Amino acid sequence: MRATVAEINIQNLKHNYNRIKAIAPQSKMMAIVKANAYGHGMVKIAKILQEEGSDFFGVAFADEGAILRDNGITKPIVVLFPGAIHEAPIYCNYDLQPIASSKRFMTAINEEAKNQGVDIKAHLLIETGMHREGIKVELVPDFLSFMSELKNIELIAACTHFATAQDNKEFALHQLRLFLDTIDNLKSDGYFFQYLHAANSAGIGNFPDAQLNIIRPGLSLYGYPPAKDLEEVFAVKPIMKLLTKVIITHRIKQGESVGYSRLFIADKDTTIATLPLGYGDGFTRAQTGKANCLINGKKYPIVGSICMDACMVDVGDDNIKSGDQVVIIGNQGSESILATDIARVINTIPYEVTTAIAARVPRVYV
């Protein structure tokens, strides 16, 4: 196994699952495991959460759902992004639940389901302000009339997606009111849905009325609250440590440079430690000149341009040697570097930091 690994803490994952359940005890759980479970390893994460009791799993694409089915996931799997026509057989072969927001795609699903002699459950996606996909409120009655003609599809749920639950509560509440008013109007017209869902992690924490009877946590499952003011509400623990080891060390003199384009020039004699981790592993070049790491419980700067397969650390005159463990994300001693810390430095979000960890980095579950 490589010196560079992503170590996934199973107990922290279970802790996070149960913390979120405690916030919304009346709601079923749709654990969001798309994008390789936000970089944490979709198959293993889903297996652990299925054993823990997750009621549904949410993925972005049908191929992700097929992988879960092939690896023993039996709970309902909802594909949260509209599919393409040619993917209809995957939904039917693997009993996946599509998002209903396209007449053309739902027609293809129904035809394939009829040919296979199966019935498909689907979730109506109502557009309330995200403007990415979904049926606009004024078009919902016509869409439901159309869906009633598709005999091999059952609409078991209606849902929406918040655009600003973490940072603009007023707009999120507008979306929630629009969604609930639409559902009430549909009830008066004789439409009933077994399930309603709207709340992502931020929605779960900020809007109890949005918890409905399914919640859709993503980032919080992996140990990061969706906003700083929700840290105490969630009390979750990061489940990933990104670890590597010092491969080689060498002394350089004052005035000598490190790496491509000579972006770092030593202002004194120092020791450089080379790590087998680079942007090919998801340790992005955007962190060049900004990143740190932990060695022997002390924080050191990563210097020079981050390479595809390596990066370099200025360890000064400290006794750092080949084989010493290095923490890129996680804690060591009293020091820590979290995905949120990295995101802040490079002006992004922790979602991007963890999902960027490449497939060639082994996931180790402890």
Place of tokens 């010493």: 324
326/3 Cα distance (integer angstroms) = 10
Active site residue 34: yes
- Catalytic residue, chosen from 136, 187, 260, 268, is 260
Cβ within 8 Å of residue 144, ≥6 positions away: 124, 155, 186, 191
| Active-site residue flag, 103 | no
E strands along 212-324, which residues?
214-215, 240-245, 248-252, 257-258, 264-265, 270-275, 292-295, 298-303, 311-316
Residues forming beta bridges with residue 30, ordered by sequence position? 56
In angstroms, what CA-CA distances link 126 with 155, 223, 260, 280?
13, 29, 50, 38
Q: CA-CA distance, 196 to 185, in Å (whole number)?
A: 14
3 state SS of 239: coil
**Could you give the CA distance from residue 4 to residue 25 in angstroms, rounded to a whole number?**
38
Q: Which two tokens stand for residue 177?
A: 């009111």
- The active-site residue out of 34, 222, 224, 245 is 34
Instruction: Report d(CA 185, CA 200) in Å as an integer.
Output: 24
SS3 category, 208:
helix
Active site residues: 34, 260
